[in-house]
Amino acid sequence: MSTAYDDLKARDQRAVMNTYGRYPLAFASGKGCRLYDLDGKEYVDLLAGIAVSTLGHGNEELAEAMAEQARILTHVSNLYLTEPMVELAERLTATFGGGKAFFCNSGAEANEAAIKLARRHAQRVRNTDACEIVTLSGSFHGRTLATLTATGQEHVKDGFDPLPEGFVTVPLGDVAALEAAVGPKTAGVLIEIVQGEGGVNPLSRDYVAAVARVCKESGALCMVDEVQTGLCRTGKFWAFEHFADILSPDVVTTAKPLAGGLPMGAMLATDEAARGFQPGSHATTFGGGPVLAAVACKVLEIMERDQLAQRAARMGATALELFRGIKDSHPGRVADVRGLGLMLAIELTDDDPELGKNVFDALTQAGFLTNLAKGRILRLLPPLVIEESDLKAFAEALDGILSEIKANNS
């Protein structure tokens, strides 16, 4: 007998393009840090739609802001001004120390805009022929042709040759390779302070300092991809603020949590960097639309009011302490625990190639939603409103699963 999930999956396979390796779940509703599948089973959401639903599901304040603006004005295009878009630009640029904002629909589009800005700034403002964008191995910047070329992971590029020219990827953490790659041909250096899709890999202070130095020496724009790390995720509003004394980006990109689950991205640039664009240089039909901008303004208001950056720092410290206890208890199963704020990873050992999948499946069955990266890295990006009790319950479940696996293998 087919289930509601089976029926929905069959419909999906008939009508939706086969681009996702989906987990075997379908959700009907959510509230706060809980999701409910088609049968009503409850799950603790420790992924937040990949760092998107940072205020939890079914947030009444966001729903009201969305509905109120939809009744007033939904769309007029960027040929005209609207109050919500300008207010959002003011709020965002204030967190960046000033500058200008460009609004779009996704993180990939925000990074695409950054790449275009870097090249045009080099050629029209600096009056050079610089065009290269330098990125890091393990990085992830999007799925457009330019942003997947910028991405430092080969598997995302399979089957899309010929890829655009003008991109150089250097090994993460190798200062000498960075110094060799950045020079007169470099328009910009694009980094993530913590690589998310790469397995939650934080950059070291020395490496961040090296990025800042080579950008200054070469004149290349220093660009920070904050699509996953931005808006309070790492315990600061922006992840680059952890290095505010040594790093001052020219460009910052953001997206995932910006409009509380609605598709919105933004590129922020200093006034100097923003000189690279002029009317007609770049555009998008839907970017900064009134409904999304109104919701994003409410997101920023709540984040500031409820001090969610500080909360992420506290909860992240609690989580790391819990997870390190598990590592100590299971040295043959847990290889590493790392993260910043509520951007966390538990890396399992590679001794058993099935360990990652078995642990992930058991956690899902126990009602905890995570992400499995590279086959053995449990990635956690919970809503910023997650409770300590949920983190403790997850840790207890993981500890129990690892103990059971050990007992079965002994």
Task: Please write the tens of the pLDDT for every residue from 60-72.
Answer: 999 999 999 999 9
Mean pLDDT rounded to a whole number for the chain: 97
CATH 3.40.640.10 in the chain is located at 73-305
List b or e across 292-313, with b for residues whose CB sees 16 or more CB atoms inside 10 angstroms.
bbbbbbbbbebbeeeebbebbb
Burial class (CB in 10 A: 0-12, 13-18, 19+), 87: middle
Using 50, 70 and 90 to split pLDDT, how confident is the model at 323? very high
pLDDT of residue 195: 98
CATH 3.90.1150.10 domain extents, the chain? 4-58+307-409
Taking CA atoms, 272 is separated from 219, 253, 277, in Å, by 12, 16, 10
**Confidence at 2, pLDDT banded by 50, 70, 90:** confident
Residue 326 in tokens:
């598990």
Cα–Cα dist 118/277, whole Å:
10
- For residue 338, list its beta bridge partners: 345
Q: How confident is the model at residue 409 (pLDDT cuts 50, 70, 90)?
A: confident
CA nearest neighbour of 136 among 236, 33, 214 = 214
Q: What is the CA radius of gyration of the chain?
A: 22
Confidence of residue 406 (pLDDT cuts 50, 70, 90): confident
Distance CA(208)–CA(295), nearest Å, equals 33
The fold adopted by the segment(s) 73-305 is Aspartate Aminotransferase; domain 2 (3.40.640)
78-93 pLDDT, tens digit each: 999 999 999 999 999 9
Distance of CA 316 to the CA centre of its chain: 16
Closest to 53 in 3D by CA, of 313, 332, 262: 262
Residue 48 has pLDDT above 90, yes or no: yes
Q: What is the C-alpha separation between 221 and 186, in angstroms, rounded?
A: 9
Q: How far apart are CA 115 and CA 132, in angstroms?
A: 9
- Tell whether the model's pLDDT for residue 1 goes beyond 80: no
DSSP β-bridge partners for residue 133:
167, 188
pLDDT category at 351 given cuts 50, 70, 90 is confident
Q: What is the DSSP string of 163-228?
A: PPSSEEEE-TT-HHHHHHH-STTEEEEEE-SEETTTTSEEPPHHHHHHHHHHHHHH--EEEEE-TT
Longest dimension (CA), the chain: 69
Homologous superfamily (CATH) of 4-58+307-409 is: Aspartate Aminotransferase, domain 1 (3.90.1150.10)
Q: Residue range 99-117: average pLDDT? A: 98
Residues whose CB falls within 8 Å of the CB of residue 248, separated by 6 or more in sequence, listed in order: 212, 222
pLDDT of 271 above 90: yes
Whole-number Å distance between alpha carbons of 351 and 334: 10
- How many Å from the N-terminal Cα to the C-terminal Cα in the chain? 38
pLDDT digits (tens, 9 = 90+) for 204-263: 999 999 999 999 999 999 999 999 999 999 999 999 999 999 999 999 999 999 999 999
